[in-house]
Amino acid sequence: MNSRPNPLTDPDAFALSVNRRTFLQRSAYGLGGAALASLLERSLGVSAAQVGTPPSWRGVLREPHFPVRAKRVIHLCMAGGPSHLETFDWKPKLKALHDQPFPESFTRGQQLAQLQNKVLKARGAFCKFTACGKSGLEISDLFPRIQSIADELCVVRSMQTEQINHDPAHAFMNSGSIVKGRPSMGSWLMYGLGAETENLPGFVVLTSAGKYGLQPVSARQWSAGFLPSKFQGIQLQSRGDAVHYVGNPEGVCQSTQRQVVDEINRLNGMLATDHVDPEIHTRIAQYELAFRMQSSVPELSDFSKEPKKVLEDYGVKEPGDGSFASNCLLARRLAERGVRMIQLYHRAWDHHGDIERAMPAAASDVDRPTAALIRDLRERGMLDDTLILWGGEFGRTPMGQGTGRDHHILAFSVFMAGGGVKPGISYGATDELGYRSVDNVVSVHDLHATMLALMGIDHKRLNFKFQGLDARLTGIAGNVVKPLMG
Amino acid sequence: MQTPFRSQPRAVRALGLMALAASAIHAVAADRVEYNRDVRPIFSENCFLCHGPDKNTRKAGLRLDLPEEAVRAGKSGKIAIVPGKPAESELVRRLVTSDADDLMPPPETHKQVTAEQRETLRRWIAEGAVYQPHWAYIAPTRPAVPQGGTKKGTSATKAGNPIDAFIDARLALQRLKRSPEADRATLLRRLSLDLTGLPPTPAEVDAFVRDRSADAYERQVDRLLRSPHYGERMAVPWLDVVRFADTVGYHGDQNVNVFPYRDYVIDAFNRNKPFDQFTREQLAGDLLPGAGDEARVATAFNRLNMVTREGGAQPKEYLSKYAADRVRTVSMTWLGSTMGCSECHDHKYDPFTSRDFYSMEAFFADVKQWGVYNDYDYTPNPDLKGWSNDHPFPPEIEVDSPYLRRQASQWSQSMRAVEARVAKDATRGALREAFVNWRDEVRASLVRQPEGWFSPKPSRETNSVPILISDSAVVSPSGTGEARNGESVIRIPVSELGQGTLAALRLELLPDGANAITLSGGSTTIRPSFQWVDAQGKATSARIRFAEANLSEPRYANGHEMLGIQDGWKTSSKRSKEPHVGVWLLQSPQRVTTSLALRVTLRTDQIRNFRVSVTPLAAAYPLASGQRADTAEALSPGKSGDLAKAADALALPFLLGSDAPAIVEARKEWQTAHGRWLECRGGRSPVVVTAAWKPVPVRVLPRGNWQDESGEIVSANPPRFLPRGELPNSDSLNRLDLANWLVSPANPLTSRVFVNRLWKQFFGTGLSAQVDDLGAQGEWPTHPELLDWMAVEFREKGWDVRHMVRLIVTSGTYRQSANLRLELKDRDPNNRWLASQNPRRLEAEFVRDNALAIAGMLNLEIGGPSAFPYQPANYYANIQFPDRDYRSSASAEQYRRGLYSHWQRTFLHPMLANFDAPSREECTATRTVSNTPQQALTLLNDPTFVEAARVFARRLLSGSDTTDAARIRTAFRLAISREPRATELASLTSFLQLQRVEAAKQPTDAARLVSVGQWPAAKQSPIELAAWTQVARVILNLHETVTRF
């Protein structure tokens, strides 16, 4: 039979659920002494700022299931749910029907959000679309710079989700489940693949906000759920300490902090000679890592060495101002430093009303930085193994809601770029009014399965025993959408 | 055994070894293969998905979970299991065939049955393929306590504790004995942290170490079980399973009024409420005969699920989410079962059907609730008309809070203490002159207006809407339509009062004959603004401290009723024909100067008549301002009387009304106490509860789809396959029936589930490791007889939780040393035989408590509203509806225990999150125990721990010790209940010397470090204090400090 360790029957997956300490420590008795030694070695050896040879730790997958196309993900989450009808899904028929009653044959018996119990009228796109690049991808004129990189994009026009309100829809997009306490995509990736750096968290979240259409997001969107908290996303703050508690206390300089950490570890080392408890060794290693993180995080957010031209390309007005532009630049720096999953939330897309003013504003927040990020990664040779995902938690109704559009789950668009996706294509289609995805429908689980496949992971084989089940990101569903892969 | 792993990396080899060792545990006593122990796990892991209970995923019509099915010829005519004849059993053939099409499990599932497992299955069939019902679904009976074992020998053996007999019997099979008992100091620290979440004091440790009586340990157990902090410690895991939090979780994650439920849980454990009663009260307290507040507060349990008030949410969809959440919680908390799977399909591993899931939902069909707690035009909700994001989440009741009552009385004493001091100083101290002057001025003014309220006739300012002003100073907006739709602006010539000060302002809204105070007759909200205008026309806002009205309607801010009307006065709609009176207390008194005027601006589009008055005499209850019976004599003109008596009567009006600089500090102190006293709201608090209303019909939702109404309507019933016990066969069972069934002797799960979780609390791992799933996918218990013995003991001794806790902690098994035994690392790598105790990192809340207790700053008050520990700025920036700010608690509340921390579900406090506290969005029976860099960062840099370190340092420096060594010894005894070893002492001593040098080099830094946090500054030299603060930081960060051994 198969001699390769099989993650499904892999003893450590079970050990994890039975006794997590076992996982962290390889066994309660520190059988992983060698592993610990190498952890310490890594912690002490390499200079903190050395980009390119960051220390790493491995996930549960020892060998990829598929060829690895992408090593990391940058998810540009357009929180609030951008209209597909004004981004990537041009519907001339809808435009023609503008302000006319929306055909009931489409909507009968369907779930609506704020349009419940309302008269439904068609609302055509308020902006023009242009066929761009060699690929001729149709992209809304609200995004001139994204238009200019059309040939890098792999647009999916036939997305569907299951949740029509922001909170559960985000949860579904991030964790594949609406039940709370499920790990998010980034946590699954860390669990499966480990990280290429230990100087920084392996899963980083940045948030920014536009002028209109703001909706809250919850830290559960980057929670490790039932996976160990080691795998949780760490939100970098735009003000104060970038990572909570990463700054030294008031009145403590870095050299004193070093002395404190040394003394803690010296005493912990003495304890270890007296007590058989491998957690002590882990603790010592974690203090080393913590101290290194304290040094690496400030370096990460120091943009002073970025050329002026780069700042201009991204549209960064003031580095570290918490704007989407600044976050995109930070995302590139995180990617360079081996962070596995980088998630940017831009809260600006909930356009129930005044869409003609609000959506151009949101588009102008993200258009330039998104295009600059993709181009920058391309120029640095990093786009090939960096998977970009751009999109919201759902789409918006082709029916108008006053001066805007309501939430919509039957159709929306996202795009991917880099990381082994087929560039310059569109996939799937909605019906003539953009109401329902009809051709090559892609579910959120399919999207997850495809993303994992690009990372070299068979989504059916990345499991964690939880409450007696082999839980996975895609639940019991999900099909890899091969035509999206280059 | 190692051969198969030789080609793999070391870690993999290690894991493989471990797995083999783990199965070796089971193999030892196994002369015969047992279905439950040996076979079911293999089937469950590899076969049941396609050949188990779920008919929708069943392949080839074959079920392996039922014996009568497994021995039947399948569609192909072949028989999966022929008892006694493995060679004829298709199952055996399929496991080994080289034909990829026939191989089981199919290669594409990536499941794999090992050679060892195949042999187990073969032997089982050879031995007759005897099935057993799943162990957890058979009601436990009390097994005989094993005799013999390792009773003599170590002092750790506590003869007579049945737990030890079971553990020893298992160890004896391995020819092993328990470890020796831990030393006394370690033992007491373990016991204190386990039973109260607090470290022992050095005095407690000394007393125990010295105590040579035979029952010394038992007496410590009794002392700690009687501690009021026992309930706090026991509450924490319960709050995890019931998912207790301060916010609703979905979308805007608004606050919900719920803390009295936490108090109920703490109190229940402290009073050792029998678990069956505890169960009944929480699920159905409202249905108990003569239900009082306590039982009703308990029913908040049914309201702890996440809820939403998001615009555009479909009420029906969310009602279905809430219902499913309740089933998941109840089934996991009491039944240790993952019924959640059956929301969409029959359970794949356990006999729960989809129908069972919805039948459980039906028990809660009468819980009064709303799908969306708001009233939107697209989802009208007449019950909550006018509701906003700031409103609470009904239904609620108001109950007594002992904590708030204690606080109210304490703050009221503080107020009185200030008043008494002022009275004394006014008679013969520094305030005498100020007092006499103030009294003379007030007396003079009272000559003109004995009741103390003055209403000089105002004039209209040019930007006002048209108004009429009567001679009695009543102002009546007179315009109509647009012209009236604006603000009335008047100027009151308060200088007419002559010499003196003003302390309070009054606004009366007056009805007009039979007409209400408002034009509509309903309620209106007004926000008057008050400005002082001087002779030059320069205006400054009058700063308001607090205001209240005789008649008003509540206004809310993020779920809490706002205190006072200073931020807006919503008039009464029911009593709108009565005069409304509001009084505003000034932050500090205003001196009346020549030409001083008071400008009042208010929206009067709804107001008929109003009048503004001023007074020099303010009171603690604003409405009592002005002249009063108890001040009248002391203020009556002409009488000079006894100064001391006058000062006693007038202390408060003097304190609030005098502008003498000498009184400012006292006034601030009084105002702070007054503010805190007001916040206690008379010792009352609202709390969400369960109220029953007409049950809504519950349908089976095909695939969990709430829009699909094709499913059958089901009545409330427990899962069909479980014994019903005394439960009547009825279609109208209610929550009380459910509760009674859960704790009935027929129920095989509840008592096992509870004692198994309890075991985990004291040993780190349950007897069945998967405490949240005792079903087919769970773990065969390591000590099944012990688990059953304890389950029966628990039930038969009246569901006595404290009895079970005492049994556990007095066992020799519990009292063993926590030094893991190297010689067992291969045989029992996870220490499941318990040949030693397990060391365990403290849970998040207790990491905090422990540090604050060591520093001597922990607030040991029990119960009450949640507190707000320091938290990084802008942490709630991504929460909206309403926007959130976070103000960390002032004074003693800052130092409350971790379990009282404000639990924001969408953004759990980073310290709690970093130490693995769950967000409590979902029932959580197992907290992970991680060891991460984030934990190191928290202990090193979180201001809470830095402040604790500097206060700890102060404690060391202000104690009786005089040498560095003595102080380090004390520090160790406080933090980890032991003396430092020589090497530790030497290391810390030289570290201290270094820090002295460092601190002396950077005195400004030293000063900053020793003033982190709001704890009062110490009088010691900042340099010395800073050096010791670094020592204290080291000690608070030690692995040993956050671990109980």
Of A275-284, B439-448, B653-662, the range with the highest mean pLDDT is: B653-662
pLDDT band for position B659 (50/70/90)?
A: very high
Identity of the residue in B821, B831, B935 whose CB atom sits nearest the CB atom of A286: B935
User: b/e for B855-888, b at 16 or more Cβ within 10 A?
Assistant: bbbbbebbbbbbbbbbbbeebbbbbbbeebebeb
**What ipTM was predicted for this assembly?**
0.90
Does A160 map to a domain?
yes
| Contact at CB, B312 and A114, closer than 8 angstroms | yes
Determine whether the interchain pair A251/B338 forms a contact, defined as Cβ–Cβ distance below 8 Å.
no
Task: Give domain status of residue A158, yes or no.
Answer: yes
- Can you tell me the distance from the alpha carbon of B554 to that of B570, in angstroms, rounded to the nearest whole number? 7
Q: Which residue of A118, A217, A250 is in closest CB contact with B378?
A: A118
The nearest alpha carbon in chain A to B976 belongs to A271
Task: Kindly state the tokens that stand for B699.
Answer: 């349908």
Interface contact A22-B1030, CB threshold 8 A: no
pLDDT value at B205 more than 60: yes
Would you call B4 and A289 a contact, using CB atoms and an 8 Å cutoff?
no
Predicted pLDDT at B442: 94
Whether A40 is in a domain gets the answer: yes
Span B636-656, average pLDDT: 87
| Cα–Cα distance for residue pair B676/A243, rounded to 1 Å | 34
Relative to beta strand A153-160, strand A425-427 is: parallel
Closest residue, chain B, to A255 (C-alpha): B998
For residue B155, what pLDDT band results from cuts at 50, 70 and 90? very low
The β-bridge partners of B475 are B469, B610
Terminal C-alpha separation, chain A: 32
- Write down the pLDDT at residue A52: 33
- Same domain? For A256 and A367 the reply is no
pLDDT for A57 equals: 67
Give yes or no for residue B20 having a pLDDT over 50: no
Give the pLDDT score at B640.
65
Q: What contacts B417, CB < 8 A, 6 or more positions away?
A: none
Q: Domain boundary residue among A259, A293, A327? A: A293
A347 and A305 belong to one structural domain: yes
- For the stretch B950-966, pLDDT in tens is 999 999 999 999 999 99
Q: If you average pLDDT over residues A393-410, what whole number do you get? A: 95
Residue B930 confidence (pLDDT): 86
CA distance B524 to chain A (A): 29
Instruction: Supply the pLDDT for residue B776.
Output: 85
Read off the pLDDT band of B22 (50, 70, 90).
very low
Q: Containing H/E element for A75?
A: strand A72-79
* pLDDT score at B327: 98
Residues 340 to 399 of A: which have CB under 8 A from any B CB? 345, 347, 352
CA distance A423 to chain B (A): 31
Task: Give span(s): CATH 2.60.120, chain B.
Answer: 451-626
Residues A124 and A254 in one domain: no
Quick one: A48 and A76 in the same domain?
no
What percent of chain B is modeled with pLDDT above 90?
80
Centre a 10 Å sphere on the Cβ of residue B307 and count the other Cβ atoms it contains. 25
Of A28, A261, A345, the CB nearest to B831: A28
pLDDT at B74: 79
Instruction: State whether residue A287 sits within 8 Å of chain B by CB.
Output: yes
Considering only CB atoms, which chain B residues are within 8 Å of A291?
936
Question: Tens digit of pLDDT for each residue in B828-883?
Answer: 988 999 999 999 999 999 999 999 999 999 999 999 999 999 999 999 999 999 99
Contact B338 A467 (CB under 8 A): yes
Task: Identify whether residues A97 and A182 lie together within a single domain.
Answer: yes
With an 8 Å Cβ cutoff, is A119 touching chain B?
Answer: no
Residue A11 identity (one-letter amino acid):
P
Q: Is residue A306 part of a domain?
A: yes
The whole-number average pLDDT for the span B686-697 is 96
**Banded pLDDT at B449 (limits 50, 70, 90):** confident
Helix runs in B891-981, H state only: 910-914, 933-941, 943-958, 964-976
Please report whether residue A4 resides in a domain. no
Closest Cβ–Cβ partner in B19, B253, B376 for A11:
B19
| Torsion angle defined by CA atoms of residues A261, A262, A264 and A266, in that order, rounded to the nearest 10 degrees | 160
Closest residue in chain B to residue A277, using alpha carbons only: B820
Name the pLDDT band for B978 (thresholds 50, 70, 90). very high
Structure tokens at B790: 């304890």
State the amino acid at position B954 in one-letter form: R
Chain B residue numbers touching A14 (CB-CB < 8 A): 19
pLDDT of residue B585: 98
**CA A210 to centroid of chain Cα atoms:** 19
Are A283 and A328 in a shared domain?
A: no
For residue A353, give how far its alpha carbon lies from the nearest alpha carbon of chain B (Å).
13
Mutation for A interface: B328, B886, B924, B941, most A CBs within 10 A: B941
Look at the block and give the residue holding tokens 């096992």.
B752
Q: How far is A61 from chain B (nearest CA, A)?
A: 11
Rounded CA separation B389/B496 (Å):
46
Which pLDDT band holds residue A466 (cuts at 50, 70, 90)? confident
Among candidate residues B430, A76, B347, the one with its CA nearest the CA of residue B355: B347
Return all residues near B596 (Cβ < 8 A) that are at least 6 apart: B494, B495, B532, B533, B534, B535, B590
Q: Residues of B with CB below 8 A from A3's CB?
A: 4
Does residue B50 contact residue B65 with C-beta atoms inside 8 Å?
no
The mean pLDDT value for A69-84 works out to 97
> Does A283 contact B931 at a Cβ distance shorter than 8 Å?
yes
Question: In a 10 Å sphere around its CB, with 0-12 CB exposed, 13-18 middle and 19+ buried, how is residue B226 labelled?
Answer: exposed
Asked whether residue A36 falls in the same domain as residue A47, the answer is yes
- Closest-CA residue to B332 (of B220, B470, B240, B462): B240
| Residue A440 within any structural domain of the chain | yes
Which chain A residue's Cα is nearest to B819?
A: A276
Q: Largest Cα–Cα distance of chain B, in whole Å?
A: 119
Give me the domain span that covers residue A95.
72-242+301-484
User: Which residues, listed in sequence order, are joined to residue B901 by a DSSP beta bridge?
Assistant: B867
Q: Which residues, 6+ apart, have CB-to-CB distance to B42 below 8 Å? A: B113, B117, B120, B121
Tell me the average pLDDT across A346-352: 96
Distance from CA of B500 to the nearest CA of A (A): 48
Q: Do B877 and A207 touch (CB under 8 A)?
A: yes
Which of these ranges, A199-203, B257-261, B358-362, has the smallest mean pLDDT? A199-203
DSSP B564: S
Q: Å from A53 to nearest chain B CA?
A: 20
Q: Which of residues 179-198 of A touch B (CB under 8 A)?
A: 179-181
pLDDT value of residue A110: 80
Q: How much is the pLDDT for B641?
A: 72
* In a domain? residue A2: no
From A9-23, A55-69, B472-486, the region with the lowest mean pLDDT: A9-23
Work out the average pLDDT over B71-95: 89
pLDDT over threshold 60, residue B6: no
The shortest CB-CB distance from B1039 to any of A111, A283, A458 is to: A283
Of A233, A263, A293, the position where a domain reaches its end is: A293
User: Residue range B546-561: average pLDDT?
Assistant: 96
CATH number at residue A425: 3.40.720
Give residue for tokens 């930007």: B463
Question: What residues of chain A lie within 8 A of the CB of B328, using their CB?
Answer: 179
Is any Cβ of chain B less than 8 angstroms from the Cβ of A22?
Answer: yes
DSSP state of B570: E
Same domain, A142 and A43: no
Tell me the shortest Cα–Cα distance from A244 to chain B, in angstroms. 7
| pLDDT class of A240 with cuts at 50, 70, 90 | low
Nearest to B348 by CA among B749, B700, B704, B64: B64
Candidate from A9, A215, A267 with C-beta closest to B1038: A267
Residue A47 CB neighbours (<10 A): 9
- pLDDT of res. B149: 47
Q: What is the pLDDT of residue B379?
A: 85
Q: How many CB pairs under 8 A join A and B?
A: 345
pLDDT digits (tens, 9 = 90+) for B991-1005: 999 999 999 999 999
Nearest by Cα to A231 from A184, A197, A196: A184
User: From CA B48, how far away is CA B348, in angstroms rounded?
Assistant: 7
Look at residues A148, A168, A203, A211 and name the one whose alpha carbon lies nearest to residue A360: A211
Predicted pLDDT of residue B639:
63
What is the predicted pLDDT for the residue at B170? Answer: 94
CA distance A390 to A76: 5
Phi and psi based region of residue B882 (left: phi greater than 0; alpha: psi -120 to 50; beta: remaining): beta
Does B15 have pLDDT greater than 60?
no
- Which one of A229, A255, A271 makes the best mutation probe of the B interface by having the most chain B beta carbons within 10 Å? A229
Nearest chain A residue to B766, by CA: A18
- Helix (H, G, I), strand (E, B), or coil: what is residue A72? strand
Do A193 and A309 lie in one domain? The reply is yes
Both A142 and A184 in one domain: the answer is yes
Average pLDDT over residues B611-625: 97
Whether residues A266 and B12 touch (CB distance < 8 A) is answered with no
Interface of A with B in 297-336 (CB under 8 A): none
Contacts of A422 (CB under 8 A, 6+ apart): A154, A483, A484, A485, A486
Instruction: Report the mean per-residue pLDDT for chain B.
Output: 92
Measure CA B699 to chain center. Answer: 33
Task: Indicate the number of domains in chain A.
Answer: 2
pLDDT(A23) > 60: no
A24, A97: one domain? no
Q: Which architecture does CATH list for B451-626? A: Sandwich (2.60)
Mutate to test the interface with B, among A267, A401, A406, A476 (most CBs of B within 10 A): A267
Most confidently modeled of A39-43, A271-275, B1008-1012?
Answer: B1008-1012
Handedness of CA B625, B630, B635, B637 (dihedral sign): positive
- Residue A169: list chain B partners with CB under 8 A: none
- Between positions 208 and 237 of A, the ones with CB within 8 A of B are 214-220, 223, 226-230, 232, 234, 237
Which residues does chain B have within 8 Å of residue A251's beta carbon, measured at their own beta carbons? 1002, 1004-1010, 1012, 1026
Q: Do strands B459-460 and B475-477 pair parallel, antiparallel, or not at all (unpaired)?
A: unpaired
Inform me whether the pLDDT recorded for B154 exceeds 60: no
Reply yes or no on whether the pLDDT at A274 is more than 90: no
- pLDDT category at B943 given cuts 50, 70, 90 is very high
Alpha helix positions (H), B523-584:
none
Cα gap B715→B542, rounded to integer Å: 63
Q: Is A31–B18 a contact, with Cβ atoms under 8 angstroms apart?
A: yes
Same domain, A309 and A387: yes
Q: What is the pLDDT of residues B565-580, one digit of tens each?
A: 999 999 999 999 999 9
Residue B112 — pLDDT band, cuts 50, 70, 90? Answer: confident
A460 part of contact set with chain B, CB < 8 Å: yes
* Partners of residue B1038 in chain A, C-beta under 8 Å: 264, 267-268, 271
Contact (CB<8Å) A247/B769: no
Please indicate whether residue B237 or residue B66 has the higher confidence score (pLDDT): B237
Q: Residue B367: beta bridge partners?
A: B692
